[in-house]
Structure 1
Amino acid sequence: MNVVAIGGGTGLSSLLRGLKKEVGERIKNLSAIVTVADSGGSTGRLRKAYHLPAPGDIRNCITALSESEEVMQQLFQYRFKGEELEGHAFGNLFLVALSDITGSFMTAIKIASQILRTKGDIIPATLDNIHLCAEFSDGKIVVGEEEITNYGKEKKARIKKIWIEPENTLTPIEAIGRIESADMIVFGPGSLYTSIIPNLLIKDIRQAVERSNALKVFVVNAMTQPGETDGFTAYDHLATFLEHSGIKKVDTVIVNTKMPSNSILKRYLEEGQEPVIPDIAKIAKEGFNVFAEDLIGDKEDFVRHDPDRLADLLMRVYYNYALLS
């Protein structure tokens, strides 16, 4: 089958690590459509200097899908220390240099993917230098992905509306083709307002998803995110995604039911994050198919979906859907 994952951040790269193991087995073609609206850190500085789409999430996805030697993966994620290069990731600089040499950000991604031998294709949501904008419940309009999250944290304000500028931005034809030929489209996990929804704010992507006959799956985050989804339940994540993305419906919702250990939970609570309440019945009453399982890892110091568990569940979700279709 053909699988398309749409999102960004650590959530998407974690998902891809699990799905790549199915490529050549249960997955024929795997494609990641990645947000390029990031404005923070190394990515933000390079965007301002070179007026390119954000390379950071692209870099993470290339590494996640890589089958190259571990040293190459470490090299791509390496961050410089000191003076002007402080905080820059080697992979970001590599993509920017390739873009400058070839004259094409898309070509740079393809070359980097060949070098790191990725088991799947990484496609930026757009090749335009877009900016994410949000209006908050206090009336303030904030521009920039990092700035939006920081404002929400500082002012404890809710995001009321979110959009991209320019609003008429286009998406690569490769992305449209992959969506239209997909058997399953996966949204999330990841930052709801700043990694997942921005992709669907691009009209071409949103319309392609709406036209697609693929099984559409929404993966709910395991933890809330300060400045974006404070206090959100699983149902709140789903309802917000549908409201702001413009997607009329999804077929299946995946919810984590496992609580993190007390020591890890205490640290997250101190940082203003809490487990997302799995209000499964409320989602089911709205007519969605719900798969609720223990999906977070056991050994990590961070609460995130275990790549293998999530990938295995997605395979079971698809084949269950295929049997009933």
Structure 2
Amino acid sequence: MPDKALRKIVLTRTVNLPDPVRTAMCRRSPELGPRILFFSGGSALRRLSQKLVDYTHNSIHLITPFDSGGSSAVLRKAFRMPAVGDIRNRIMALADRSVKGNPEIFELFAYRLPKTETPEKLRERLEAMARGADPLVRRVPDPMRKIIRSNLGFFMDRSPKDFDLRGASMGNLILTGGYFNYKRQIDPVIYLFSRLVEARGVVRPIINADMHLVAELADGTRLVGQHRLTGKETAHIASPVADIHLADDPAGFISVEPKLKAKVADHIRGADLICYPIGSFYSSVVANLLVKGVGDAVAAAECPKVYIPNRGHDPEELGMGLADKVATLLRYLGRSCGTAVEPKRLLQFVLLDCGDREALAEAARVRRLGVEVIDAPLVSEKSAPYLDPRRVIEHLLALA
């Protein structure tokens, strides 16, 4: 007899924030933990991700591949590829360092070549690593060592002799070699290295493309490149951001609206909770929403959607209050939808610390946008003035 057709019903439930029982269950069996999905990039979520593996092994991290600073910038310029630095950071944050081989891989991936060595010495060092003669690689057990050596070999074969290795991240070079090994496909490389280090979660770029972030400021200034917006490698912006979009060329003149891949959309639709987390507002969070179809997938996900605003100063948020940031998220989510969608299907909650008086003063404005404000003690004595990762996680678990 054929199985009866599955029926879907919608339930409304009341939750405790945080929920000690749910927290204890997740800690006892993190392999059965909820699929909490984060739209992020950069390093702001690193500490939270490291703690998150104690509660769930099923988190999903969609990362922006548009980083144009540091080691990633050198690789992108040389090879016309998406940035891999933030992807590497998140994989390593989720890694289980207790498994045999993981501490050695973590050390290798985190290592940066010296900035003071000559190009010839750096090339010799990299060749020794590819041969397995360098101590950092020799300590990694097989078969992981063979895979790493193979990918370093691919990188050396493709890189020009004058490639600038000063300060280069070994993790980035290894992932780049794998990128060429898999014919410029980044997903198989991420999957392989996630398995190698037993990453307790899924990490994927929002899109596998070499694109550039372009910001239009309110005073008419046009900034091309994510690094020019963050204030980490250049001066802070002097005028608020009016709009951002993606371009297909380094000069930023060819605007594009890339489409979301079906597999990434499936991750979004299947989430138990969707989070727009702390991090650089435009270059880490909103940048993910520039891909066409993201809003549709979020709207189709039958789960809570929550925004966690930054507690500290973010140069990208110049001139913005909490309500402005919520309205901006809704605007870009709406843009990425194929048809008009009710705001409550895109964002339902703002989770902020009860001591953030400036943000709480805007609670009424936020609620008029159709978004509920949840104020909770998210800052601990140890974490002050920043959010305590464990307190944030416990609240997310209760909502999931």
TM normalised by structure 1 equals 0.83
CA-CA distance at 1:231 after TM superposition: 4.8
Can you list the C-alpha shifts for 1:116-143, whole angstroms capped at 9, x where unaligned?
A: 1101111110111111111111112211
CA distance in 2, matches of 1:6, 1:181: 14
Q: Which residue of 1 aligns with 2:376?
A: 293
Structure 1 distance, partners of 2:358, 2:66, is 25
Contact 2:216 2:223 in 1 (8 A): yes
- Contact 2:294-2:333 at 8 Å conserved across structures: no
% identical equivalent positions: 29
Q: Is residue 200 of structure 1 aligned with residue 281 of structure 2?
A: no
Deviations 1:138-187 (A, max 9, x none): 11221110123349945511111111124232334321111111121111
Q: Does structure 2 retain, via aligned residues, the 8 Å contact 1:33–1:125?
A: yes
Deviation at 1:95, TM superposition (A): 0.8
Matching of residues 249-288 of structure 1 within 5 Å: 249-258=346-355, 277-279=359-361, 281-282=363-364, 283-288=366-371
Larger C-alpha radius of gyration, 1 or 2? 2
Match for residue 120 of structure 2? none
- More deviation in 244-253 or 174-183? 244-253
- Asked if 1:7 corresponds to 2:45, the answer is no
Q: CA deviation at 1:214?
A: 2.0
Q: Name which of 179, 182, 188 aligns with 1:102.
A: 182
Let me know the Cα RMSD of the aligned residues: 2.4
Label 1:134 to 1:299 Cα distance change in 2 as closer, same or farther (>3 A): same
Map of 2:170 onto structure 1: 90
Distance in 1, matches of 2:387 and 2:225, equals: 27
The equivalent of 2:51 in structure 1 is 18
The structure 2 residue matched to 1:43, chosen from 38, 57, 72, is 72
Q: 2:240 is matched with which residue: 158, 162, 171?
A: 158
- The Cα shift of 1:188 comes to 1.3
Cα pair 1:3 1:184 within 8 Å, conserved? yes
Amino acid at match of 1:17: Q
In structure 2, relative to structure 1, the CA distance for the partners of 1:59 and 1:15 (3 Å cut) is same
Mapping of 1:1-325 within 5 angstroms? 1-23=34-56, 29-68=58-97, 69-82=102-115, 83=117, 84-103=164-183, 104-150=185-231, 153-154=235-236, 156-166=238-248, 167-226=256-315, 228-246=316-334, 248=343, 249-258=346-355, 277-279=359-361, 281-282=363-364, 283-296=366-379, 298-299=381-382, 304-318=386-400
The residue matched to 2:293 in structure 1 has which SS?
Answer: helix
136-145 vs 207-216, which deviates more?
Answer: 207-216
Contact 2:304 2:399 in 1 (8 A): no
CA distance, structure 2, for counterparts of residue 66 and residue 258 of structure 1: 33
Amino acid at match of 1:252: F
Whole-angstrom CA distance in 2 between matches of 1:131 and 1:303: 33
